Amino acid sequence: MSEIDQSALDNVRALQRPGSPDLLSRIIGIFVAQTPEGVHAIITALAANDLDTVRNTAHSIKSSAAYVGAARLSSRMADLERAAREEHVDICREIVEGLEAHSQSVIDELQSLSSQDKAA
């Protein structure tokens, strides 16, 4: 099952201005570059019970995931942001369980889409 909502990517493509660097690949590039770092920060912060960092980082990934069409990852981050705000550490741990793998699969899929785009 695809993690990526194609219509979201279409929205980004529609924002592409002629003569400008490719917007979608830049957005994806930023996502791909920043997300592993963010996921790692969440895991470390949660282990240290630093819920503020968990919440803020989740908030960031939530919106950038939404723009690249990673709807499930975005809503997972929203859940995490809320749980961190409400200081439900257990729920946070549940949500973070397997987050690394989830985010990696999104990244993989985006990278393949991006290379397809370039190929096209």
Number of residues forming the site for other proteins (CB under 8 A): 23
Residue 120: other Cβ atoms inside 10 A: 5
Give the nearest distance from C-beta 113 to other proteins in angstroms.
16
Residue 32 interacts with other proteins (CB under 8 A): yes or no:
no
Q: Which is nearer to other proteins, 23 or 89 (CB)?
A: 23
Minimal distance in Å, beta carbon 72 to other proteins? 15
User: Of the ranges 38-46, 59-67, 89-97, 105-113, which one interacts with other proteins (CB under 8 A)?
Assistant: 59-67
Choose among 12, 31, 11: nearest CA to 110. Answer: 31
**Helix orientation angle between 6-14 and 23-47, rounded to the nearest 10 degrees:** 130
User: Could you tell me which of 91, 50, 52, 96 has the C-alpha nearest to residue 73?
Assistant: 96
Summarize as ranges the residues that interact with other proteins (CB under 8 A): 11-12, 14-17, 20, 23, 26-27, 30-31, 56, 59-60, 62-64, 66-68, 78, 82
